Amino acid sequence: MISLIEATGLVKDYRAAKALDDVSLKVDRGEIFGFYGPDGSGKTTLIRALCGLTPITSGSAKVMGIDVRKRPLQVRDNVAIMPEDLRFYDEMTPRKFLDVSARLMLLPKAERLEALNKAADLADIRGFIDMKIAKLSDVQKQRVSIARVLMSDAPLMFLDEPFEGMDIVHRRNMRAHLKEFVKGGNTVFVASRSLMEADHLIDRFAFIHQGKIIATGTVEELKDRYLAPAMILQVSDPQMTVDLLQKEIRLANIRLIEGDVSLVLQNRTDAPKIPKILTDAGIDIFEMRTAGSMEEVFERIARGEVA
């Protein structure tokens, strides 16, 4: 895998407290990388450091092969950034602001209107696109900021709290757009305190707590590592599956929930046995996934309940 972001040993002192404490990570081309943690944990500071907006005084970072400490302006020329504190011209409307932004991005005139309209729909700003920005709420301004980034054709996108205040329909549309965006080898770095979108969007995670990265991995890797061995099965014969697994493997619990088989293993090493047991019995497996949420994963790690 080609890494678009490589950071090693980043430390950032902010207001007498370390906002980043020896942070190291890699983000690969073609993935949606999620950087999650509570307010004040260092998410925004890391984005600013990686984009050359905050000086790096310790450690090293490369973004798209560019040394951030030596060439911060070159980094910013090659990425799209949705910062937490984008500055607006209050007398402009979102439509005018986006048009000016498209011109600064050097989008061809023939493509500008289409890009603006698509971004406006994805970011859900149609209802106030012709109001003065001075009259918009903070959430509405954030959506305008999202729209600006979505117009860019940069191969690496940094998004800070992109789903804030967005309804479920536009969340789905945004997820679909970002997934399509990375299919061509582009990359998205999402920072957020909310894990609501996590299971539906993120390819790989990093959890940060008190300035330190405390865990990294995919959804399945982290759930398998930090949650109880709980699973959900969608099969062709749920009742037969329950009866069979009760006889064949050691279970802490098994039950039917709306046609799915929910189970908790006594021993995680029994999980690989399940597909063979069921297929040998002629039962089709439509889906087999680890149960539990990413919120549970983060909470258990942050509380120190797991090593």
Q: What is the pLDDT of residues 14-43, one digit of tens each?
A: 554 567 888 999 999 999 999 998 888 888
**Is the pLDDT score of 307 beyond 60?**
no
Report CA 167 to chain centroid distance, whole Å. Answer: 17
Residue 55's nearest CA partner among 63, 45, 43 is 45
**Is the pLDDT score of 300 beyond 80?**
no
**Is the pLDDT score of 181 beyond 80?**
yes
Report the half-sphere exposure of 230 (CA within 13 A, side-chain side). Answer: 14
Q: What is the pLDDT of residues 256-286, one digit of tens each?
A: 988 999 998 888 788 889 999 999 999 999 9
Please report the pLDDT score of residue 14 as a whole number: 59
In which region does residue 106 sit, left (phi positive, over 0), alpha (psi from -120 to 50) or beta (all else)?
A: left
Please report the pLDDT score of residue 16 as a whole number: 46
Domain annotation for the chain: domains and CATH numbers: 3-221 (3.40.50.300), 228-291 (3.30.70.100)
Residue 227's nearest CA partner among 306, 151, 284, 155 is 306
pTM, two decimal places: 0.79
**Is the pLDDT score of 171 beyond 80?**
yes
Question: What whole-number percentage of the chain has pLDDT above 70?
Answer: 95
**Is the pLDDT score of 126 beyond 60?**
yes
Q: In what order do the strands lie in the sheet with 230-235?
A: 251-257, 260-265, 230-235, 285-290
Distance, in Å, from the CA atom of 33 to the CA atom of 36, rounded to the nearest integer, reads 10
Encoded tokens for 12? 């950032």
Report CA 94 to chain centroid distance, whole Å. Answer: 26
Q: What is the pLDDT of residues 66-124, one digit of tens each?
A: 999 999 999 999 999 987 667 788 889 999 999 999 998 888 888 899 999 999 999 98
For residues 196-203, give the mean pLDDT. 84
Looking at every residue in the chain, the average pLDDT score rounds to: 88
Element (H, E) at 285: strand 285-290
Q: Given the DSSP bridges, would you call strands 3-14 and 60-63 parallel, antiparallel or unpaired?
A: antiparallel
**Is the pLDDT score of 207 beyond 80?**
yes
Residue 158's nearest CA partner among 97, 76, 38, 88 is 76
Phi, psi (5° rounding) for residue 178?
A: -65, -40
